[in-house]
Amino acid sequence: MSAAAIYDYMPGRPPTSAAALRERYVQLEKGCSADGSERWLNWVVRLNSQDCVGFVQTTIYPQLSADFAFAFAPAYWGRGIAFEACRTVLPCLRRDFDVRVLYATADPKNLRSVRLLQRLGFVGVQSTRYPHGEVAPDDRVFMFSCA
């Protein structure tokens, strides 16, 4: 999960070491923001071989809307693994966490992510509809109704 290509369309840079990556995951593992207003859900995606190939994550906000994101190692792109993982998470968010609507942002040049979001049923909306802060100037906003 430290391949540079993963970060072509995401903010940030690849972790500089295994220790830095481990520290990032320790923070995410806490499950909520420092003030408790956000709930963080993270699913590690593994193959039957137990190799870690990516993750799906969601930040749930008090109004029961959430941000949805995913990242997968380049060696596993184009195999349907990301679709299966994301598709498995979506019903869980409504059923187990009462999430009503999901938002995702993507760089329009990241065609793989845009196509995956559309295949999952996310639809493009105007960036002014994004309720969780600023949207990067060139990013597209997608929305998915969990109802």
Give the CA angle between residues 29, 30, 36 to the nearest 5°.
145
| Domain, as residue range, for 104 | 4-145
Q: Between 120 and 18, where is the model more confident?
A: 120
What's the pTM value of the predicted model, to 2 decimals? 0.89
CA-CA distance, 61 to 51, in Å (whole number)? 31
What is the count of structural domains for the chain? 1
Sheet with 39-46: list strands edge to edge: 39-46, 52-60, 65-72, 101-106, 140-145, 123-125
Comparing 41-50, 62-71, 97-106, 129-138, which segment has the lowest mean pLDDT? 41-50
Residue 19 amino acid letter:
A
Residues 87-138 pLDDT 10s: 999 999 999 999 999 999 999 999 999 999 999 999 999 999 999 999 998 9
% of the chain surpassing 90 pLDDT: 68
pLDDT at 2 over 90: no
CA atoms within 13 A on the CB side of 108: 8
The residue written with tokens 């100037």 in the block is 137
pLDDT confidence of residue 32: 85
CATH code for position 104 = 3.40.630.30
The C-alpha atoms of residue 115 and residue 6 are separated, in whole angstroms, by: 16
Question: Both tokens of residue 140?
Answer: 């597209």
Cβ 102 vs Cβ 67: under 8 Å:
yes
